[in-house]
């Protein structure tokens, strides 16, 4: 019964995004971001790899590498990345997680600051906000905020509803449909695939 419900939810989300994409008066970006996580539970270290972080229609692929450690409610990462436009960055990422409502609700804040490593790149900053409420072990609903700025231009700040779907204990999806708050008629469909390995 749960699997049927899950399939119906995913199907409805996909139909909704496709219908929005066909609307002629909006611009819709798709952000595809698979992530592999390798966790060392004994000492709280973690390695994360995003083989590609791809935004359509910009058609630029990026690879991210993170090494970090959990300290109480925080995670701190050394974060490096490069893309197909020969841009290179290194920086730091700080996550804060707070559980509530009998551990069914997640409040997540994340900041990233990147320094450019070549003339093609520029410094920039991210601020990410996530709330997710788990209705069961498989399915949760919430809100995603995704802000990026280079400190020179108006930032891109997308906000909208999101869902986290845990297909298995170590494999799941994070889907969101967001609106850019500073630009009319600009939306982003966010698709994250997570795969976890624990040692």
- pLDDT for 48-94, tens place per residue? 999 999 998 888 999 999 999 999 999 999 999 999 999 999 999 99
pLDDT at 117 over 70: yes
CA distances in angstroms from 48 to 35, 70, 121, listed in the order given: 7, 13, 22
pLDDT of residue 66: 98
pLDDT at 115 over 90: yes
**pTM of the model as a whole:** 0.86
**Three-state SS for 10?**
helix
**DSSP at 19:** H
pLDDT band at 34 (very low <50, low <70, confident <90, very high): very high
Asked whether 98 and 75 are in contact (CB, 8 A), the reply is no
CA distances in angstroms from 98 to 110, 124, 126, listed in the order given: 12, 26, 19
pLDDT at 2 over 60: no
Place of tokens 């229609």: 57
119-150 exposure pattern, b = at least 16 Cβ within 10 A, e = fewer: eebeebebebebbbebeeebbbebebbbbeee
Span 101-110, mean pLDDT?
A: 96
- pLDDT for 163-179, tens place per residue? 999 989 899 999 999 99
Q: What would be the CATH architecture of the domain defined by 2-198? A: Beta Barrel (2.40)
36 vs 51: CA distance, rounded Å: 8
pLDDT band at 26 (very low <50, low <70, confident <90, very high): confident
Calculate the dihedral angle through the C-alpha atoms of 133, 75, 168, 65, rounding to the nearest 10 degrees: 130
- The helix (run of H) or strand (run of E) holding residue 20 is helix 2-21
Single out the residue of 36, 58, 40, 59 nearest to residue 48, CA to CA.
Answer: 36
Span 15-27, mean pLDDT?
A: 65
Radius of gyration, CA atoms only, the chain = 17
CA distances in angstroms from 76 to 95, 97, 127, listed in the order given: 6, 12, 14
Share of the chain above pLDDT 90, in %: 76
Q: How far is CA 36 from the centre of its chain?
A: 13
Q: How far is CA 102 from the centre of its chain?
A: 24
pLDDT of residue 19: 60
Asked whether 115 and 137 are in contact (CB, 8 A), the reply is no
């Amino acid at each position: 019964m749960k699997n049927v419900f899950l399939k119906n939810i995913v199907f409805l989300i996909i139909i909704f995004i496709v219908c929005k994409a066909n609307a002629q008066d909006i611009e819709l970006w798709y952000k595809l971001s698979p992530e592999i996580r390798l966790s060392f539970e004994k000492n709280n270290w973690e390695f994360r790899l995003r083989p590609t972080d791809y935004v359509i229609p910009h058609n630029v692929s990026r690879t991210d590498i993170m090494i970090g450690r959990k300290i109480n409610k925080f995670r701190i990462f050394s974060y490096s990345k490069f893309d197909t436009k020969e841009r290179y960055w290194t920086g730091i990422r700080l996550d804060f997680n707070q559980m509530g409502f009998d551990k069914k609700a997640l409040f997540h804040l994340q900041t990233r600051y990147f320094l450019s490593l070549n003339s093609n790149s520029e410094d920039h900053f991210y601020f990410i906000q996530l709330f997710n409420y788990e209705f069961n072990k498989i399915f949760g609903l919430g809100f995603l905020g995704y802000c990026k700025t280079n400190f020179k231009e108006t930032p891109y700040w997308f906000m909208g509803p999101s869902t986290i779907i845990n297909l298995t204990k170590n494999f799941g999806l994070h889907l969101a449909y967001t609106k850019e708050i500073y630009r009319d008629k600009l939306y982003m469909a966010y698709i994250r695939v997570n795969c976890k390995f624990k040692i």
